[in-house]
Amino acid sequence: MARSYDQYCPVAAALDVVGDRWTLLIMRELVAGDRRFTDLRERLPGIAPNLLADRLRDLQAEGLVEHKELPPPAARTVYAASKLGRQLIPVLRSLARFGVARLGPPDDQLVEPQVAVYGMLTPFHRPEADGERFHARLEVDGTTFDVVTDGAHLSLRRRPDETPDAVIDVSARDLVAARQGLRQVLADEDPGAVRFGRLFQLA
């Protein structure tokens, strides 16, 4: 990347790499899963194709993003966060926690399931003292997320053949509203929902 703050400071050094507009939002998408160029354009409305290509090229040069060829039958090229790039996950979660208070009520907004889960739940994960494994399957506006906690470890890898400890059906808007304290979305009589609420500070 051409521009630099030219300061001997770790914050400045990090911002030299990820401080440009759109860069952290691109990384937000890639730490959630591999994406085609067209996927990124769809998920980032407003970014010009040439700017997206430039940002991806810069991120690859810095070692934060990798180009991957998927095997048949997919046979397509995708972008993926590298091991180094995934070190930004705590940064993105901290930004999400900071940004929640700056959002208005969700009622008139388009809230995507991925934004609700990655922005309103995972940044607020609070491990249980005993570290016992817990698997909740979230159905959010027709999209399924398998949320598995095991002590401090948190995973959202899809587990279609596994029976979850709890199944929670909720809209993306309701998840945002619950995070903002505007409404109750988890059933008090459901032990799995209660435990999920404790783990993600929704109850």
CATH 1.10.10.10 matches 10-87: yes
Q: Where do the domains of the chain lie?
A: 10-87, 103-199
Residues 159-202 pLDDT 10s: 999 999 999 999 999 999 999 999 899 999 999 999 999 999 99
Cα–Cα distance for residue pair 146/157, rounded to 1 Å: 6
Position 130 scores a pLDDT of 87
**102-133 CB burial, b ≥16 within 10 A, e <16:** eeeebeeeebebbbbbbbbbbbbeeeeeeeee
Cα–Cα distance for residue pair 5/16, rounded to 1 Å: 6
Cβ-in-10-Å burial (0-12, 13-18, 19+) of 86 comes to middle
CATH of 103-199, one of 3.30.1050, 1.10.3470, 2.160.20, 3.30.9: 3.30.1050
Task: Confirm if 38 and 50 have CB atoms less than 8 A apart.
Answer: no
Cα–Cα distance for residue pair 70/68, rounded to 1 Å: 6
Nearest CA among 86, 43, 40, 46 for reference residue 63: 86
Walk along the chain (203 residues) in steps of 10 and give the mean pLDDT of each run: 84 96 97 94 95 97 93 83 97 96 87 94 93 95 95 91 96 94 91 95 84
> Which tokens hold the place of 70?
């998927």
Cα–Cα distance for residue pair 119/122, rounded to 1 Å: 7
DSSP line for 144-203: EEEEEEETTEEE----TTS--SEEEEE-HHHHHHHHTTS---S-TT-HHHHHHHHHTT--
Position 24 scores a pLDDT of 98
Cα–Cα distance for residue pair 18/95, rounded to 1 Å: 13
